[in-house]
Structure 1
Amino acid sequence: MTAMAPAQNEPDLSFLLDHTSHVLRTRMAVALDRIGLTARMHCVLVHALGEERTQIQLAEIGGMDKTTMVVTVDALEKAGLAERRQSSTDRRARVIVVTEKGAALAQESSRIVDQVHADALGSLADADREAVLRVLNLLVKGDLETPSESPRPARRARQ
């Protein structure tokens, strides 16, 4: 006797969000790779440009652990896109400073990211596009704002 899976009456929100997120991440990775960046490198460059920020602050913004952040900044330094420097306000802290080359690449990567997002939403009618973004923002600022505490945390998908 074959066991049958129960009928699913509700849409599988986890699958829908996970699948669209995975496809968007892979498209973003391919697009940014064309200019030699990863999504994490893009994130660090863009957020380090705005104001003086430490590695820890940038890691929090990008949702990275310390090890991943160090590897990312090492790659940016090796490529001549960013430098670690002493903070102007706290001599114990090190900040990430974007070089001129890094700033130019951050502008280009921002255009690429915007285009990937536009392409992802491009098949939707204007009203649907606005609705999707409005509803996702409601979820992110509402019920899905904060992950639940768990003794066995759910793993985030690898980038």
Structure 2
Amino acid sequence: MAPNRTSPDLSFLLDRTSHVLRTRMAAALGEIGLTARMHCVLVHALEEERTQIQLAELGDMDKTTMVVTVDALQKAGLAERRPSSTDRRARIIAVTEKGAEVARQSQEIVDRVHADALASLPDDEREVLLRALDRLVTGHLAEPVEAARPARRARQ
């Protein structure tokens, strides 16, 4: 006999909503030929001069995934690798004019997907949910912990 649950399954609730949101985001961004990772790189590279390593950290990507993502952006004419203006050994990811326009479009898509998801909640619940999630991500759940068997990350 299974043990009685004493509280809602927070892991399931967060995993399921995150998974469904990612699938909706992938479908929406796919309409303009982007992935969520490509969007992330374009937007963060437009904010300021950043190296590939810095962008990988911001996007929570490993080196291989980052290289593949930047290669795809370069092939599409949306970004290019250039020498850093502050460190001649480093290379930055520079967004092209075409890439900046695509980033603007993709940000509108991301904002719409997020707004659609939140629109399913009454206004007062939206604010509470966002405040609570922000408190978790900046507080108790800000950093992963080491485990003997690391948790597997969902494929994206």
Report the TM-score range of the alignment, normalised by the length of the smaller protein: over 0.9
Q: Where do residues 125-140 of structure 1 align in structure 2 (5 Å cutoff)?
A: 125-140=122-137
SS in 2 for 1:140: helix
The TM-score, its normalising length taken from structure 2, stands at 0.99
Residues 1:53 and 2:45 are matched in the alignment: no
CA distance in 1, matches of 2:30, 2:137: 28
SS in 1 for 2:116: helix
Residues 1:92 and 2:84 are matched in the alignment: no
Partner residue of 1:120 out of 82, 102, 117: 117
1:45 positional shift: 0.2
SS in 1 for 2:50: coil
CA distance in 1, matches of 2:44, 2:152: 25
Percent of paired sites with the same residue? 76
| 1:46 aligned partner, one-letter code | V
The TM-score, its normalising length taken from structure 1, stands at 0.97
C-alpha RMSD of the superposition: 0.6
2:102 paired residue number? 105
1:143 paired residue number? 140
| 1:51 aligned partner, one-letter code | E
| 1:10 aligned partner, one-letter code | S
Over residues 61-91 of structure 1, what are the superposed CA-to-partner deviations in whole Å (9 max), with x where a residue is unaligned? 0000000000000000000000000001100
Q: Which runs of 4+ in 1 moved over 4 A?
A: none
Structure 2 gaps, min length 5? none
CA distance in 1, matches of 2:74, 2:62: 18
Between 1:146-155 and 1:91-100, the stretch displaced more is 146-155
1:9 paired residue number? 6
| 2:146 aligned partner, one-letter code | E
SS in 2 for 1:27: helix
Residues 1:64 and 2:67 are matched in the alignment: no
Structure 1 gaps, min length 5? none
1:26 paired residue number? 23
SS in 2 for 1:84: strand
